[in-house]
Amino acid sequence: MRVEEFCDPVTVRILLYILREGQSNITRISRELEIHHRVVKRHMDKLKAMGVVDERTYKRMRVYVANLKDSRVAALKDLLEELAGLLQLFPEVRG
């Protein structure tokens, strides 16, 4: 897992959503974040390949779960939560 892999703001938005919710499917992520289904799928595939999320299948539905057993992912979650908290202190920085 390299920092460069998280430079895409869409990847970061999706990752923040998964870390906050714990798990979700592509349809729900797409609807909640208003990102096209195919784009979400592409980013989830990337996060899965990096080991950040695990994929579980229930009948025909795929659910993605944050891989918090990986200490790097747990540390990333803590970092992103800390950054989100800091952004609350500086509303002019938020987009």
If phi > 0 it is left, if psi is from -120 to 50 it is alpha, else beta; for residue 70 that is beta
CATH topology of domain 6-86: Arc Repressor Mutant, subunit A (1.10.10)
> How far apart, in whole angstroms, are the C-alpha atoms of residue 19 and residue 78?
10
Q: Is 88 in a helix, a strand, or coil? A: helix
Q: Which residue has the tokens 């990337």?
A: 46
Q: How many CB atoms lie within 10 A of CB 7?
A: 9
CA dihedral (38, 4, 56, 23) positive or negative:
negative
Each residue's pLDDT tens digit in the chain (95 positions)? 565 666 678 988 998 899 889 899 999 999 999 999 999 999 999 999 989 999 999 888 899 999 999 998 888 888 878 877 777 766 665 55
What was the pLDDT predicted at 91? 63
Q: Which two tokens stand for residue 88?
A: 């609350």
